Copies of this chain bind each other. A is one copy, B any other.
Amino acid sequence: MAESFNPSAWREKLTDELLNNVTAFWLRHSLDREYGGYFNCLDRDGSVYDTTKHMWLQSRMVWMYSRLYNQFGGESAWLEAARLGLEFITRHGLTPEGRAWFSLTREGKPVFIQRKLFSECFYSMALDEYSRATGDEPLAAQALSMFDTVVELADNPHLLGRPMLEGQPQVNSLAVPMMLLCCAEQLAAGREDFSYTGRTDGWVEQILSHIDPRRKIVLENVKPGGDELPGSEGRLLNPGHAIEAGWFLLEHACGHDGGQYVQRALEMIEWSFERGWDGEHGGIYYFLDARNRPPVQLEWQMKLWWPHCEALYGTLLAWKISGREKFLEYFERTWDYIDTHLIDREHGGWFGYLDRRGSRTHQLKGGPYKCFFHVPRTLLLCVKLLEEIENR
């Protein structure tokens, strides 16, 4: 362990940030006690600027409040907050065919459905985590059944409703095997008879096929099997996402087969952090082009909160597993960026969006893709890991 690194001081600092800043802000502002569920579009001061309820976020918040309750002391306010969302998503969140909507009105009427499978993933994870808090067996069965739907959609993407066209390349997007692995890890915990254990090696292989060790990069999109796709899509790097995939793999590898993927996962985190960090202005880029052609995403050079959340836990875990000082330096550098750019000490919570130079572009605390999830998840994961480090 590095001389100057004090795990218990870090644990105390991050615990305070988790409970007294972030969780306090969201408990205070996000609960819709009138219609159930959560307000996820919160302005800087917590006021609601849009009442649309985005299902990714409703489900993620059910998961997060439940996880806090399950792993961090059983505070009844957390379970009540989880129940508020759980009742809303189970009452309003599903299509007649058993898929999950993407967004709902405040009262729960459907607004939009995506031609993707992520709403279903988060729904399954929410139900599972909540059922672990309450021992609700029928709910646990619904979580498993929704994962059947997720796997069916992943295996048969035409069921998502997007036409399959002749010129459309076959793409393996990093997000899909990542989410399948993440969701499977969630559901498999404590279940010896989990039906998809035999599939996880395949999803791990799919994740690993995104790594190009020669160029030390992790590509966001590859052909099935890992060959490079042509054009901008094939050159896309999403460093925060690759770091997240790295720590998913690290957790999976350590939990399962003696760690045969550990080196690869450590490389994913190291290479993506090195490539993604902006040496001039600090922070992790949102997108990059692997061959330095122009990224086509308008927001490519912005600094978002969530890649920094992924990097915080990913590098701490990588340091704990590898013992390499480099990862501890990444961890501290990431925290320093978060501390000076993202935490709102005036109104509470964390900001989400900065321009390349680190100036805030958005004052919002929650939006269609930001809620009570990445920040408390990374803080909780870091706190639990720091406890392990203290106790070893």
Q: Which B residues touch A165, using CB under 8 A? A: 101, 109-113
* A113/B356 in contact, CB under 8 A: no
- Contact A232 B167, CB 8 Å, known A295-B362, A299-B299: no
Taken together as a complex, chains A and B put the C-alpha atoms of A268 and B109 apart, in Å, by 35
Q: In terms of DSSP, what is the predominant structure of the interface of chain A? A: loop
Interface residue A7 (Cβ < 8 Å from any Cβ of B): no
* B112/A368 in contact, CB under 8 A: no
CB distance from A17 to the nearest CB of B (A): 23
* B230/A51 in contact, CB under 8 A: yes
Interface residues of A in 163-179 (CB under 8 A from B): 163, 165-168
Interface residue A353 (Cβ < 8 Å from any Cβ of B): yes
Of the A-B pairs whose beta carbons lie under 8 Å apart in the complex, a sample of 11, sorted by A's number, is A49-B231, A51-B231, A52-B232, A101-B165, A110-B166, A111-B167, A113-B163, A113-B165, A294-B367, A295-B362, A296-B367
Interface residue A355 (Cβ < 8 Å from any Cβ of B): yes
Q: Which B residues touch A111, using CB under 8 A? A: 165, 167-168
Interface residues of A in 286-301 (CB under 8 A from B): 293-296, 298-301
CB distance from A38 to the nearest CB of B (A): 15
Q: Count the A residues whose beta carbon is within 8 Å of the partner chain — how many?
A: 43
Give residues in A with beta carbon < 8 Å to B: 41, 43-44, 49-52, 101, 104-105, 107-113, 163, 165-168, 230-232, 293-296, 298-302, 353, 355-356, 361-364, 367-368
* A50/B110 in contact, CB under 8 A: no
Taken together as a complex, chains A and B put the C-alpha atoms of A192 and B264 apart, in Å, by 70
CB distance from A297 to the nearest CB of B (A): 9
Partner pick for A167 among B109, B163, B367, CB 8 A cutoff: B109
* B363/A294 in contact, CB under 8 A: yes
